[in-house]
Amino acid sequence: MRKIKDVLRLKLDARLSHQQIAAALGISKGVVTKYVGLAAAAGLDWAAVQDIDETTLGRRLLVTPERPRDHVQPDYGRLHQELRRKGMTLMLLWEEYRADHADRQTYAYSQFCDNYRRFARQLKRSMRQVHRAGEKLFIDFAGPTIALTDGSRAHIFVAALGASSYTFACATPRETMTDWLKSTARALSFIGGMPQMIVPDNPKALIADANRYEPRSNDTVLDFARHYGTSVLPARPYHPQDKAKAESAVQIVERWIMARLRHQQFASVDDVNQAIAPLLARLNEKPFQKLPGSRASAFAEIGAPALAPLPLQAYEMAHFKTVKVHIDYHVEVERHRYSVPHSLVGQVLEARITVAVVEILHRGNRVASHARSSLAGGFTTTAAHMPAAHRAQMEWSPQRLIHWGQSIGPAAAEVVTRLLNKYKHPEHGYRACLGLLSLVKRYGKPRLEAACTLALQIGVCQYRHVRDILKNNRDAAAPLSTEEWVSPNHVHVRGPGYYQ
């Protein structure tokens, strides 16, 4: 602009030729001709040029006068919100714009896009990111806390959807992993659906390895994400711009909710949540400054339809522990032992522990599930996990053995009963009973019943005695008389008179 003013001064005031002016200022004759012609077209003389600054001079010489706008102006705020829908493009919006105003003059596609981008640059920098509806839920804790009457403090959890900025807030006693996940579950229940991703920062309570390129959440967080069918993608360390929605939502909650509660006293976290609820509704109903509608209306229009449905049951907090299968096909969890399939003996498994259930996982697949027990030193065993031989032995009981003996005959049942009663612990007689009953396979039920009858008559009830009777075919001999034995009279017998 400074040289242009010098060109006009030398031409209009000093009356020099184009060649002299070009030589004096070190520019071409064409440039001199251009700006002298522009000044003539604008009707400027040296008196008018001398009194104006460079900016005004440049605007009068270079800017083409605006023509009256005959084009239908699109609603750029509505276009900005529509672009957050999945699959929405400027081309589609331009076609709809042309169709809605077919009888009037509309912009061509290139001018339509330029006008929208010019509008988008006027918005806040925090809205540079394009968030798709139903894509991301940003979560964080506010820095300030709310004092309770017992001396503790309530921490404020904040969640915001990316596309609609629909905001949720609640109070928690601390910022542990349980507080994070329970608050996130409440946020999901509040919005009534599931986004594709949940974006926190890098709290140690959630993130096991805050790696810049491959961050890894802890096992409970991954289990939480599997339950809800979503994923947890933490922001990069020391990059708050990755979760600008959460940062903005935290600031708004601090100003519009927490600041209004600063003069109130609360006895518990529940009292704080009761006070937050109406203020949260007002916050979401508050109109946007530069966009049409509010957070609530934007969520109802574009956010809610894009969310996946919630699971039927809320997430139950679970903890994970690495366990090894002992030789007795049990794993130990909190000093109690739970059975797993015997084929996994010696392998390292993962235990998922909830309030009521202990699940055992092998390579991510559940292989056992038990009701959680607090009995230290106890055992919880499922029969299906045992080897066939162990399962068969466990199924034996005195009643079952006696019933089996009764199926052979009353004598066999009596022998079995006497074998079991012979020992202090009935289990000690199981093997003898099984050996006795196994004789059926070789000799048949009638002979075993006859052998047991003979054994009872002679007063022997052990397995080897019954076996010998069958082996020597004594059960086939004439049955013994059951009459009472009377000693015969002979000379050597002293009568009762002898003792008088």
Of the candidates 423, 417, 419, which has an alpha carbon nearest to the alpha carbon of residue 399? 417
Residue 210 pLDDT: 64
Tokens found for residue 79: 């276009």
Residue 428 pLDDT: 61
CATH class, domain 136-306, is alpha beta
Residues in the chain with pLDDT < 70?
1-2, 63-69, 86-87, 124-130, 209-215, 238-242, 389-396, 423-428, 477-500
Residue 495 pLDDT: 66
Residue 178 pLDDT: 87
**Partners of 380 in the β-ladder:** 338
∠ CA 83-87-93, nearest 5°, is: 50
CB atoms within 10 A of CB 432: 21
Residue 391 pLDDT: 62
Residue 478 pLDDT: 46
Residue 127 pLDDT: 41
Cα–Cα distance, 404 to 433 (Å, whole number): 10
**What are the phi and psi torsion angles at 128 (to 5°)?**
-65, -35
Residue 274 pLDDT: 92
Asked if residues 327 and 345 have their Cβ atoms less than 8 Å apart, the reply is yes
What is this structure's pTM? 0.54
Cα–Cα distance, 294 to 278 (Å, whole number): 16
Residue 493 pLDDT: 65
